[in-house]
Homo-oligomer: A and B are copies of this chain.
C-alpha cells in the first residue's frame, strides 16, 4: 500500500523520538512492501522560530491532505513568556483536524512491574483505555481571556453534539473490548457534567451490550491508584482526561511508554506520544522512543488497517523490554541504560 504521512517532529526530544519512529516505519516498508511518503513540517516552537506561527498554514495544509499525521512533542522554556506559545500549535492542529477523540491506552508491561510506584499485584492485569474529548471544553470555549489586570476567565462549554460523538466512539470501543464503560464527570457540581451524563445515559440505550458506570472525577483520580484493574474504557471531557491519563501513566511506570491516537469522524488521525518535549534531556540521545513508536503502531492499525504490521511493532517492544533494554526513565537493576538510538536498533533487529 502507498500512504502519505505528515511528520511533525516538534521541539525538545520530539525530533529524536520521531527519528526512531521513522526508522521503524522504514523497516515496516521493507518487510511488508508498503510505501510511506513522508513529509516533514515544523510545528510548535520550531515553527515560531521559523515562521512566527506555532502552526504555519503550510503545515496545516500538508496535514490535511495526508493519510495520517505523526507528532513528536512541542514546547520548552525557550518560548516561555512569549506571546505565541508552542502549545497553541498543538491545540490548533487538534482543532483544525477535528480530532475530537483522543485514545490513550494504558497497559502494564510485565517486565516494567518493578518501576511502577504502585504495588505489583495492583497493576499486573491493567489494560485500560482513555477516550478523552479533545477539541472542546475549557481548552477552547469562549469567552476565554483577561479583563484588565484583575480578572481572568475560561469557559467549560459543551454542545450535546460534541459530547455525543466522543461518547459514541467510547461505546464502540467498549463494545469491541470487555463491554465495560466508565464515564467520568463532576455531575454533583457542574452543569456541563449533567449534560454529559444525560448523553451517556441516552447513548447507552443503543449499546445494550455495554455496561455503563458513572464515576465522579475526584473518585476516579483515587480509584486509578487504588485499583486500576477495575477499568476498561474510560470516557471523559478534555481537562479531566488530561489530568487522569497522565496520572494513569504511572501504572506503566513511565509517561515515556504511552501512545495516543486522536481521531476525527472521517478517519483523519493524529498520532502522538503522551509525554511532552522534556527539554532537560533533549539532544542527549536519552529519550524513551517507545511512546512515539507505539503511537506509530496505532497509526498503522487505526488509519491504515495494517494490523499485522502494528502487531509486529508491539511485539518487538515487548521483546525489547523482556530483554531488559531500557532508557533511563524505565531503568531496571537488571540491564544497562540504552540510548534512544540503541532502543530503536533493538526494535528493528526483531
Contact = CB atoms under 8 A, between A and B. Distances in A.
A345 B116 CA distance: 39
A250 interface: yes
Interface stretch (A29-37, A168-176, A185-193, A305-313): A185-193
A153 B196 CA distance: 11
Contact of A246 (B122, B189, B222): B222
A191 B144 contact: yes
A265 interface: no
Contacts of A192: 152-154
Copies of this protein chain in the complex: 2
A152 B191 contact: yes
B188 A75 contact: yes
Contact of A117 (B122, B138, B194): B122
Contact of A157 (B85, B153, B219): B153
B217 A243 contact: yes
A255 to B, nearest CB: 7
Interface residues of A, number: 56
Contacts of A246: 218-219, 221-222
A139 B189 contact: yes
Contact of A195 (B87, B146, B217, B247): B146
A149 interface: yes
A91 interface: yes
A222 B249 contact: yes
A308 to B, nearest CB: 34
A160 interface: yes
A106 to B, nearest CB: 12
A51 interface: no
Contacts of A150: 159-161
Given A138-B189, A149-B160, A153-B156, A221 B244 contact: yes
A26 interface: no
Interface of A: 75, 85, 87, 91, 117-119, 122, 138-139, 141, 144-146, 149-161, 186, 188-192, 194-196, 217-219, 221-222, 224-227, 239-240, 242-247, 249-250, 255
22 contacts: A91-B189, A117-B118, A117-B227, A118-B118, A118-B119, A119-B119, A141-B153, A144-B191, A146-B195, A150-B159, A152-B195, A153-B192, A154-B191, A154-B192, A186-B242, A217-B243, A218-B242, A218-B245, A221-B244, A222-B247, A222-B250, A243-B243
